[in-house]
Structure 1
Amino acid sequence: MPPAPSRTHIATVTAIVVVAGAMTVGHAAGTPGCSAPVVLGAQFQIASCLDDLTTAGTVATGHTVPADWAGLHPAGARNPSGVPGTQIDGYFPDNSTTNTNNGWNHDSQFVIRLPEHWNGGLVVTGSPGNRRQYANDFVISDWVLAQGYAFAATDKGNTGADFFRDDVAPGDAMAEWNSRVTQLTVAAQATVAQRYGRPAAHTYMAGLSNGGYLVRWQLENAPWLYDGGVDWEGALWTDVDNLLTVLPKAIANYPESQSNPAARDAIVAAGFDAESQPLWEYHDKTYWELTQRIYREEFDPTYAGADADYDYASRPRAVHDAVARIALTGRIQRPLLTIHGTLDTLLPIGHDSDVYAAMIRDQGRADLHRYYRIEGGNHVDGLYDIHPTLLRPMLPCFRSAFTALESWTAAGQSPPPNATVPRSDAGDPANSCALGN
């Protein structure tokens, strides 16, 4: 694919837009007569005027894809509903076709939601994992829409387990994630200004997993677009700590870890909390090897060995240069709140957010950062339903962090200090999380 568009190009490109009254395929049929602003740079868009922009309404009307957000929230989570407004679905120019949502077979799809009762703000997200543009609908969109925020999300320009095929050179596919989020933010800000007659007073970035990585990258590299962000256990990419340095050790040692204390200790030494051992079998079957393979394919496509034998440190310079293209530095330039579960069994906290917090301090930016280690939190909240005595949901902690970010940036009220948030058996763990006293 061609290189991802630059920020200058994104900001000046002329929109080529088709607004259709109905669709013959896909789920996001437009509403006849529903008007919406032109989305800057979009190749295609379609508008729907809805009685409810939250998943309580969009599941029924077909304006979300539940498979995009399956497994990301605990079963007991309560979400608001009844938010009327306009939804714009569409896509930016792209020549890859991994996203089949809406029957379009076209990447760089986006969704923008404009509530009827607007609070003056905008929340922008990128998808977690290799999911598509509706992946944050339950865990982020519903809640911020109910507060009056406009909401925008992107599929990051490529999706699925073969996302790495969407490149010419190693690292291209992930580099596109960052430029597509920037592109969407510029477009969404212009859309909001058209729709409401004034610019957003505050633009926030929020995301989970790969979406959290995108928050970190945007606040380091495009801070002028945002007032702050919430990083929900974002993936860390540096030349020392990344998925390719951690996961091979788990893959290599798991087969013997149930019976061999040395193998079990090796997984713990790789950064995985010993208390997370009941989760290892699931992650071995579902996450570790697949995740290791697809990101190794992205940065090191010539490697021909086994995933368990992969040694990132010894790989050719070109591999390290590819990672450097998308690596984080810790030089954030806007307020950032990070939450990360101590029992994260995909991105172990000791080789991820603990490291990133130290990077921020080393850059002299600690005054812009708050870090909350959530005791018992895992990478995906769906596992809480299976392990309710071991885990606690992260979703309510994200909501508490977002509220703290609002107070910090809009009212000058400092968030609670950095802390390890203890697990409590009291209250409703799927819907409450206090970050501090």
Structure 2
Amino acid sequence: MRPSRLVPPVVAALAAATLTWPVSASAVGADDVGHCARQTRVHVPGAAFQQSACLPDLTTAGLAGTQYTDMADQAGLTAKATPRPSGVPGAQIDGYFPDSSHFNATHGWSHDAQFVIRLPDHWNGGLVVTGAPGTRKQYATDTAISDQVLARGYAYAATDKGNNGVDFYRDGTRPGDAVAEWNARTTQLTRAAKRAVAQRYGHAPRRTYMTGISNGGYLTRWQLENHPELYDGGVDWEGALWTEDGPSLLTSLPAAVARTLGAARDEDLYAVGFARGSEFLWPYHEKAYWGLTQKIYRAEFDPGYDPACPGPSAGTTTEQILAPCASDAAYDFASRPASVHRAVARVSLTGRIGKPLITLHGDLDALLPAAADSDVYARMVDGSGRGLLHRYYTIQGGTHVDGLYDTYPDRLRPILPCYRSAFDALVSWVERGAQPPADHAVARPADGDVVGSCALSDRAASAR
């Protein structure tokens, strides 16, 4: 089977820069009672612009093909057979906060700091907040996160992080500004969404959960470390790790780029954390992830490294944008100037979480290898004396994007069903005091519904 069948996320993003679908004819208005009550009275604090719609179904089953979601920006994140709930009526608010950058062309606004807030008619009193993974935008996790939490009755809010796309590193005036904005925008949206929820339902959310995938997982870690007062807990799905002196993407990806260019051996990748057994995934990552990701973050934190290859903008075709820079094969983060390390330090994690957190990471992740990421973060949490607030589950057969399961169903398993189980476990932990299982590796089942279910209690034979 050929991994190239999976559309690389950046290709999907480039192909779907603007949403131009017409408003659904089924959208209707209501105000004081019943469906979408108080919709017109909800004003998102701080928003420069907002528009709302009363919709018969807020899930992707009802929104696909409309301007209220973007299925192309979700490409690759979930397996094709992922169970999707439907039939959640309510109001959706789209808008943006004041910002000076213009990478996000969704709705034709050409304006960053876009957000979406969904308010179901039948509310359970909770709010779930997330930020876009990778370089994607505010609708990226609609299938992976929004659908399920809306079906459980939660209000939902997501942000594009304030900059997006392969040129996001151009935002800001100094190294690290773009990533630092991700954190600020998530905090901003959380505060605004809490007040919007109170306007709609008559009181603030009783529980607020932070969660996310990849860069969204990083946001979850950062928020629980820096603003625990805003949240009751979080679920981190393969969050990116940033630390001042490493490890980080800038310490693991150069070896992968070098191998792509024939300048490194498999053993060099193992040495920086890539898992033995993940080799069958490397050809796809060579084409879709490694070169592009290294360029993006090197350009964000270390823009002076290679003037001849400043970042993805050095290319004009998709192939050029995805291709690695030859100089990145020799990139040595440890020897870079102190200013580069200070730029990373601005967004670094500490492990000092202030609310319960569950971390999931696939043992076959070939973009953010667990040994250089969540294994390290779990030790950071323990070292900070916050281990009682943390659970860490390695998902056997899991990799960075669930879409690869469709190419390798005999070798992989989707993480999404484990994520849904982890979210339920977090809620039970926070609201009922039910302690989740201790840290372990979750076994990949030999049969059964691996796309639709996951028992966190199933331990792999080689559990940690």
The AA in structure 1 aligned to 2:89 is P
1:248 aligns with 2:254: yes
Secondary structure, counterpart of 2:229 in structure 1 = helix
| 2:404 paired residue among 383, 386, 407 | 383
The AA in structure 1 aligned to 2:385 is G
Q: Distance in 1 between matches of 2:277 and 2:247?
A: 22
**Structure 1 vs Structure 2: percent identity of aligned residues?**
61
Count how many residue pairs are aligned between Structure 1 and Structure 2: 409
Could you list the per-position Cα deviations for residues 243-272 of structure 1 after superposition, in whole angstroms to 9, with x for gaps in the alignment? 000000111124449xxxx81111122211
| 1:60 Cα deviation from its structure 2 partner | 3.8
- CA RMSD of the aligned region, Å? 1.4
Secondary structure, counterpart of 2:64 in structure 1 = helix
Q: How does 1:401-416 map to 2 (within 5 A)?
A: 401-416=422-437
8 A contact 2:21–2:65 mirrored in 1 = no
**Structure 2 vs 1, CA of residues 165 and 397 (structure 1 numbering), >3 Å: closer, same or farther?**
same
| 2:150 paired residue among 131, 145, 150 | 145
| 2:389 paired residue among 368, 373, 388 | 368
| 1:284 Cα deviation from its structure 2 partner | 0.6
| 1:33 Cα deviation from its structure 2 partner | 4.3
Q: How does 1:99-114 map to 2 (within 5 A)?
A: 99-114=104-119
Partner of 1:215: 220
Q: Distance in 2 between matches of 1:235 and 1:434?
A: 25
| 2:297 paired residue among 270, 276, 295 | 295
Q: Distance in 2 between matches of 1:397 and 1:28?
A: 36
8 A contact 1:28–1:102 mirrored in 2 = no
Secondary structure, counterpart of 2:182 in structure 1 = helix
In the superposition, the TM-score normalised over structure 1's length comes to 0.91
Partner of 2:82: 77
| 1:61 Cα deviation from its structure 2 partner | 3.4
**Mind listing any 5+ residue stretches in structure 1 that lack a counterpart?**
1-24
Secondary structure, counterpart of 1:274 in structure 2 = coil
| 1:67 Cα deviation from its structure 2 partner | 1.3
The AA in structure 1 aligned to 2:294 is Q
Q: Distance in 1 between matches of 2:151 and 2:268?
A: 46
Q: How does 1:309-328 map to 2 (within 5 A)?
A: 309-328=330-349
Partner of 2:314: none
| 1:192 paired residue among 194, 197, 220 | 197
Partner of 2:352: 331
**Mind listing any 5+ residue stretches in structure 2 that lack a counterpart?**
1-18, 31-38, 307-325, 459-464
Q: Distance in 2 between matches of 1:189 and 1:26?
A: 30
Q: How does 1:135-284 map to 2 (within 5 A)?
A: 135-238=140-243, 239-256=245-262, 263-284=265-286
Q: Distance in 2 between matches of 1:191 and 1:65?
A: 23
The AA in structure 2 aligned to 1:45 is Q
| 1:28 Cα deviation from its structure 2 partner | 7.3
8 A contact 2:237–2:419 mirrored in 1 = yes
| 1:61 paired residue among 44, 66, 81 | 66
Secondary structure, counterpart of 2:278 in structure 1 = helix
8 A contact 2:169–2:299 mirrored in 1 = yes
1:95 aligns with 2:95: no
Q: Distance in 1 between matches of 2:144 and 2:194?
A: 22
The AA in structure 1 aligned to 2:198 is A
